[in-house]
Structure 1
Amino acid sequence: MIKKLLLIVLCLGFTTAYAETIKTDVLVIGGGASGVSAAIQSARSKVKTLLIEQGPWLGGAMTAGGFSYLETNRNFPSGIYGEFRKRVVDVYKLRLGYDTTYNAPLAFEPAMGATILKKLTDTVKNLTVKLNTPFTDVKKDGTGWEVTIIDNKEKVTIKAKALIDATELGDVVSKINVLMTAGFDSRSDSKEALAPTNATNQIEDISYIATLRDYGRNTDHTIPKPEGYDASKYACLKGVDVKKLLNSAKLPNDKYMINWDNCASQYSVTSEDMQPENRAETFRKARLHTLGLIYYLQTELGFKNFGFADDFKTADHLPYIPYVRENRRAAGLVRMMLDDIYTPYDRGSQLYRTAIAVSDAVPGQHYSEAGVLHISYPPFPAFTIPLGAVVVKDQENLFVTEKALSVTHLVNGAVTDAAVQMSLGQGAGAAAAFRAFFQTTTKNLQPRIIQGEILDFKGYLMPFADIKQTDPAWRAIQQVGATGMLKGVQKIKGNRTEVLFMPDSTVTTAEIRPFLDEIYSRSFIWFNQEKPGQLFTVANTISFISNMNLRDPDDLRNALQKSWKSYYKFDTEFKADRPITRREFAVLANRFFNPFARKVDISGKVIN
């Protein structure tokens, strides 16, 4: 009997120990825009994934932070962000006045955004989501990671093969011995011409965003006067068209997102203010600043009919978290800088070849503190975000997103927008899944395989504004564009610069020869023998394919002529002697050269 009792006790002990340890392939800490997207992609890539979020909502800044009016990446409904966008539009499309055009700003109520994300994650196999679950410790576990969380008031250990820090403020990497920087980089450090001579710890202002509702003309929803209220702090709003400001971020159901620049919503901080020990006081003061703005709007500007909406169940009805634009940045395998955006094809490193996401955001410069340097950016191009920027240097199998991304300060303001982070998170999730699925480490990541996975799930690699995802040639153009065989063309449009593929323009010999010579040993011989003219023709393309693939040129010509419109979906006529278009060349090159199959390293160098 005693032996049986001891056996039962031992079994119960083993059961308890087992229940306190969770094993997973990929652990994502942080359920913001990038974290949700990373977790979904990782699970879809057929690895076991766990997502933990310390708050009650998924979505981070765009839901729990109230930033629910997304204007960036409207031309790039990339992958999971595209799914989220479609679900939002489906919810609101029958509402009078809701703009459902494919590239309209995406407006939604914060609580609805969180609900949509939760429903989306609930449909994903291999994915477990835990809300209201903070982590307390993180440490290495062989080649993987061991993380301690608080689940239902109990300590639980998670062992993961790959770890993604998707927290809003880089709180995971801050607990590990990872090199971090904050504020303006010096010119000597970043080698950016627009950087200041000296580094500073000034970062962009934070904001507590308010979600207000118009309750009708004869109502009064004036809040109590906030602690320390000083009307002079909001004097910049005198003489401003407040109705225009309100309508600039109008949400469904007579709600409005209040996130106004300068003296209004912004609260100046330094990187020291954002340290864990200083955050509570910093955030308390920032909340009071926004409450003062709302009181000023109601009492001084006469909008007492505008009161807080019911999205947030906080005592003051402000969001659960502040909108943070910048914090400390981790050192990654690569550090993305301005030249990677303005002149991506002219760099020693070819980081665009390792792209895992795109952005068309313009860097924000939200500083209410007097004397902070403002940068005169030339018109800002749409750009790619490289794989190496999400992979932490000197720490195996650790990835970062959000504000900890490995970029310079001058780039940071263009990558932290929620729509961009959703696209980026998908790339990080694919990379983490690669590590787990192939039982390798971040030292052996293969950009082309990871990019192929992103494309399989409709994620963008290249920001070509003139090639929609519905285009039959979209994937071929994305892949060829990522090789650099055919490069994007920058066209200034206002304060932005679009990147275009220009599919109907003709291909020049000069633009494609350098890449073809780089990847094909016989290419040099072919060019010297054939001596194609300035414009590359359909016949030249057939000849080159025939030579590289050792295929009879007449058979190839006949096959292409028969399938020109039916299989390849070209709307042009097959004529061998005319210049070939970029669309035609991209599709044929992708089909017969398969340049995307050539391996590249983390810097974008082709591996022969």
Structure 2
Amino acid sequence: MKNLYFIFLFTCTCFYSFASKTQYNTDVLIVGGGTSGVMAGIQAARLGVKVIIVEESVWIGGMLTAAGVSAIDGNHELPSGLWAEFRTNIEKHYGSKQALASGWVSQVMFEPSVGEKILREMCAKEKNLSVISAVKLLNIKKKADTWQLDFSDDISIKAKLLIDATELGDVAAKLGVKYDVGMDAKATYQERIAPEKANNIVQDLTYVVILKEFDKDVTIPKPASYNKNDFICACEKLCPDKQMPRLWDCEKMKTYGKLQNGKYMINWPINGNDFYANLVEMNDLQRKEAIQKAKEHTLNFVYFMQTELGWNTLGLADEFPTADKLPMIPYHRESRRIHGLATPNMNHLEKPFDQAEPLYRTGIAVGDYPIDQHHGKNTAAPDLYFVPVPSFNIPLGSLIPENVDNLIVAEKSISVSNLVNGASRLQPVVMGIGQAAGTLAAIAVQEKKLPKDVSIRKVQDKLLKAKAYLMPYLDVKPDHPNFEAIQRIGATGILKGEGKNYKWSNQTWFYPDSVMTNGAVIASLKTFFPNLSMQANEQVLEEKLVADDAFEILTKIQPLPADYLQHLLKDYPNRNEPITRAKLADLMDKIIDPFHRKEVDFKGNFKP
């Protein structure tokens, strides 16, 4: 009888445990509420699908907030989509645009806690979006077309589509997505600055710290592993080698990351708190141990600043909800890089219009930062400090794994070469990648298609409606009356921009107010309409394009109904005046509509 009693009790306990599991069903599940994950969630929710974001940390925002990297790198002149919205919300919080330029490294700086609060508010406004924080992924399985993921706290979620927005691409790895780690050999992509042989070196990570002025001595206890020589050349004051490259004044080091309200973000790469640890293939315990060493290294640097530099009134701010006052996660500059349907390399960035794969036509996010790789803690790595490239875009195919369906990959784990990662890893680019991932996911769910079968042009159209850039044109902002038309025509390659680089600023110019010659316009159109022929002598071809000639050329390609033609002509009362590239792009868009006329594949080639 006793045996029967215990069997009965065991059965009831199991049933209760199963029944108490919290079950959710959603259209899109995003694992990782970091920089890309939040933007993916907001965008997909706005497009009308149900979305859940699950984040392991107690904060959302990833490198923007939970890692403490609250100084935005790049894209200050490319206010694309949700990045621009986030920046506007920060400006409102602090009262002005000028208030964000508190430190010299960035035009947009903010306290991490403020950034997290703003992201929470942005998420809360979306009725289709739910956020679950502080739970850990346990396992993933797929049944038919449905994903099922189990998390700690007895949470189970079923979803039609999955987005990996984790910091290190851990979901993709669990699902068997092919990927690379480390540096590519020069022979792989023929990149001019790549090493001769591939290696497994990744960029240094950083355990950022936020310090605050306390107006009293707040020196921390001396860490057990402290060695001042590790930091002696972090700045000029104590460094014996005054000729060392990139040796900065110590006050300049301090104000590098000056935040509001007497706080300082310390994310200093030169003999500072950068730390080498390749966490990608480590298990949880190994990662925890490596992260603890990175924390200790940062605290050593804090002690150095307090004692050797005399900044003993600078102490750890109460910025994060952690016992040690350090961020919840380290700043990961590099992750796995999946094998995707498109893989841009440095050549695509340097000369996008000259490549066999015109990936620029499939662009969904833009960036203007140099190739910047942090390798100060690894003497075996090359020096890749601010290698200039023009501004660039990221192709949609970079987000789609080649060997696992119904999965989209975002954050820094997208399909790019190692060198491109040095430019694509920055916050605004990753925000754009997230927004594109959310767009692709929403369309895939609504059309009941796999992401790889969704029209690239549909994704780009949705992004343009959200005021996001496809092409990184510095001189055509979203409030320009011809912004969408210029972006669409640019994405066909009929009218191209000119890439330049200037110091830290990498640029692509469209020159919307300039005027082309008749011959140049015809030559540009022939790249799309190879059978186009126009009878004109050499003198006419060298003349500047006027409205009459533009209408003649374009209506030869696409004849228009008389009433629609007259409607368009009303905007050009003097049709013998030269027409700008902006107006030409607008007419091309309205008359011949090349953007929608031919679909592109994930390599950027026009489909038959």
Residue number in structure 2 paired with 1:233: 230
User: Which secondary structure state, in structure 2, belongs to the residue aligned with residue 563 of structure 1?
Assistant: coil
Please give the secondary structure, in 1, of the residue aligned with 2:412.
helix
Counterpart position of 1:180: 179
- Alignment of 1:189 onto 2:204: no
3-state SS in 2 of match to 1:465: coil
Match of 2:27 in 1: 25
Question: Could you tell me which of 386, 390, 411 is aligned with 2:395?
Answer: 386
Q: Tell me, which stretches of 5 or more residues in structure 2 are unaligned? A: 1-10, 238-247
Paired AA for residue 35 in structure 2: A
Post-superposition shift, 1:480?
Answer: 1.2
**What amino acid is aligned across from residue 255 of structure 2 in structure 1?**
N
How much does 1:187 deviate? 1.3
Distance between the aligned counterparts of 1:285 and 1:462, measured in 2? 41
- Please give the alpha-carbon distance, in whole angstroms, between the structure 2 residues aligned to 1:559 and 1:579: 20
Alignment partners' CA distance in 1, 2:365 and 2:371 = 17
Q: What is aligned with 2:73?
A: 71
Quote the offset at 1:529 in angstroms: 7.2
Structure-2 change in CA distance of 1:97 and 1:180 (3 Å): closer
Q: Distance in 1 between matches of 2:256 and 2:545?
A: 48
Structure 2 distance, partners of 1:15, 1:235, is: 57
- Asked whether the equivalents of residues 33 and 422 of structure 1 are also in contact (C-alpha less than 8 Å), the reply is yes
Q: Which moved more, 1:182-191 or 1:299-308?
A: 182-191
Mapping of 1:52-451 within 5 angstroms?
52-93=54-95, 98-99=100-101, 105-150=107-152, 153-154=153-154, 156-216=155-215, 219-237=216-234, 238-239=236-237, 240-270=248-278, 274=282, 276-368=284-376, 369-375=378-384, 379-451=388-460
In 2, Cα distance between the equivalents of 1:543 and 1:13?
A: 76
* Cα offset, 1:104, TM superposition: 6.7
- Residue 157 to residue 465, structure 1, CA distance change in 2 (3 Å): same
CA distance in 2, matches of 1:513, 1:57: 54
Shift of 1:580: 2.5
Structure 1 equivalent of residue 8 of structure 2: none
Please give the secondary structure, in 1, of the residue aligned with 2:138: strand
Q: Tell me if the contact between 1:39 and 1:127 (Cα under 8 Å) persists in the aligned partners.
A: yes
TM-score by length of 1: 0.90
Asked if structure 1 preserves the Cα contact closer than 8 Å seen for 2:60 and 2:66, the reply is: yes
CA contact (8 A) 2:123 2:129 kept: yes
Partner SS for 1:70: coil
Report what 1:542 is aligned to. Answer: 551
Once the two structures are superposed, residues 404-461 of structure 1 have per-residue CA deviations (whole angstroms, 9 ceiling, x without a partner) of 1111111111111122211110011101111111001123121100011111111111
1:569 aligns to what? none
Out of 289-298 and 222-231, give the one that drifted further: 222-231
What does residue range 546-565 of structure 1 map to in structure 2 within 5 Å? 546-551=555-560, 559-564=567-572
Identity of aligned residues (%): 36
3-state DSSP of counterpart to 1:147: strand
* C-alpha distance after superposition, 1:501-533 (max 9, x if no partner): 101111244554456345558x524x2479861
Contact map agreement 1:208 1:319 (CA 8 A) in 2? yes
Superposition pairs of residues 512-531 of structure 1, within 5 angstroms? 512-513=521-522, 516-517=525-526, 519-520=528-529, 524-525=532-533, 527-528=534-535
SS in 1 for 2:458: helix
8 Å CA contact retained: 1:542, 1:556: no
1:39 aligns with 2:35: no
**Residue type of the alignment partner of 2:576:** D
Q: Which deviates further from its counterpart, 63-72 or 237-246?
A: 237-246
Q: Does structure 2 conserve the Cα–Cα contact (< 8 Å) formed by 1:201 and 1:271? A: no
* Alpha-carbon distance in structure 2 between the residues aligned to 1:396 and 1:363: 31
Q: Distance in 1 between matches of 2:550 and 2:208?
A: 56
Q: Which amino acid aligns with 1:201?
A: N
Indicate how the Cα distance of structure 1 residues 328 and 97 shifts in structure 2: closer, same or farther if over 3 A, else same: closer
Alpha-carbon shift at residue 576 of structure 1 (Å):
2.9
Q: Is the 8 A contact 2:280 2:336 kept in 1?
A: no
Alpha-carbon displacement from aligned partner over 1:195-238 (angstroms, at most 9, x marks no partner): 1110111111011101011122xx11111111211111111135
Shift of 1:550: 2.6
Q: Distance in 2 between matches of 1:510 and 1:159?
A: 57
CA distance in 2, matches of 1:394, 1:444: 14
Under a length normalisation based on structure 2, what TM-score does the superposition of the two structures give?
0.90
- What SS does the corresponding residue of 2:197 show, helix, strand or coil? coil
What letter matches 2:27 in structure 1?
A: D
Instruction: Please give the alpha-carbon distance, in whole angstroms, between the structure 2 residues aligned to 1:63 and 1:377.
Output: 24
- CA distance in 1: counterparts of 2:391 and 2:59, whole angstroms: 30
Q: Equivalent residue for 2:579?
A: 580
Q: Counterpart amino acid of 1:257?
A: M
- Alignment partner of 2:448: what SS? coil
* Structure 2 CA distance for aligned equivalents of residues 530 and 520 of structure 1: 20
Amino acid across the alignment from 1:91: H
1:482 aligns with one of 473, 491, 494: 491
Question: How far apart, in 2, do the equivalents of 1:259 and 1:15 lie?
Answer: 45
Deviation at 1:348, TM superposition (A): 1.3
The CA deviation at 1:142 is 1.9
| Distance apart, 1:19 and its partner CA | 6.6
Q: Give the whole-Å Cα distance in 1 for the aligned partners of 2:411 and 2:440.
A: 16
Q: Aligned pair count?
A: 580
Conserved? CA contact 2:499–2:508, under 8 Å: yes
The letter for the 2-side match of 1:48 is K
Give the structure 2 partner of residue 3 of structure 1.
none
Kept after mapping to 1: 8 A contact 2:74/2:369? yes
Residue 558 of structure 1: how far off its partner (Å): 5.4
